[in-house]
Amino acid sequence: MTLARVAGVFVFLPIPGMSGVLQPARVILALSVTIALFSAWPQVTAAPSGGLLALWILTEAALGVGIGLAVGFIAESLAVGAQALGLQAGYSFAATIDPNTEADSTVLVVFSQLAAGLLFFVSGLHREVIRVFAHSLEVCPPGTYSLAKGAAGDILLLGGTMFATGLRLALPLITVLVMVDISLALLGRVNAQLQLLHLAFPIKMMLGLAVLGWVALLIPALYRASANTAMTAAGRLLAH
């Protein structure tokens, strides 16, 4: 049951290339984390029936998936922001290989996924996830957790925060690029002989890189704030 709780989180953890790893490697990783939590395993006094044990395993897996979603929404907020500004900045034409799906994806989205995976380990969020699991074994031993409506509401609310964070991240760059479009349109209106259409694309890309370099300095602080929100939501999930 502890393994079912731990394994559920690995479905949504923002680890680059995790989905492309062979199934045995992911099973060994989940089993290793489970064994690392051996000291927090609860003592089972009675053997449950087969049906009750299956119900407990499903409940434990749902708890792990909920915690994984809370952490995964942090990485997805960066991906939402990259997707929103990629089209406006002209980077939707630049494609590369997504390490998670091994399919073509826009370069800014792949960059945001790699940055989120790096920040996941640099900020120590992986240790916080393990600490949450250890705390959950004390607060809600396997077989005692019950899903509630409030638990799903907290996860859905965190999903809405993902879109808000992504738009806040992309809005400064989108605003600057819209001002560039308006300026070029006014110049073209004043003098119709100026061929500004072929200059708009490189100007927007270069300006997008400059503003993106400034916004990138704010990403670690934004990630830490989102991580605190996710851990708070995980704590409320255990409280239910």
Q: Tell me: the pLDDT tens digits for 51-60?
A: 777 887 888 7
Where the chain has pLDDT below 50, the residues are none
CA-CA distance, 42 to 20, in Å (whole number)? Answer: 33
Amino acid letter at 177?
L
Range of the structural domain that residue 131 is part of: 2-41+49-239
> What pLDDT shows up at residue 30?
81
* Domains identified in the chain, total number: 1
CA-CA distance, 181 to 214, in Å (whole number)? Answer: 20
CA-CA distance, 231 to 9, in Å (whole number)? Answer: 13
Instruction: Confirm if 40 and 141 have CB atoms less than 8 A apart.
Output: no
> What pLDDT shows up at residue 150?
56
Tokens describing residue 140: 């809600």
Instruction: Confirm if 128 and 231 have CB atoms less than 8 A apart.
Output: yes
> What pLDDT shows up at residue 184?
78
In the block, tokens 């990783």 appear at: 29
Is the pTM for the entire model greater than 0.85? no
> What pLDDT shows up at residue 22?
60
> What pLDDT shows up at residue 72?
82
> What pLDDT shows up at residue 110?
80
CA-CA distance, 109 to 105, in Å (whole number)? Answer: 7
Instruction: Confirm if 106 and 83 have CB atoms less than 8 A apart.
Output: yes
> What pLDDT shows up at residue 103?
59
> What pLDDT shows up at residue 146?
67
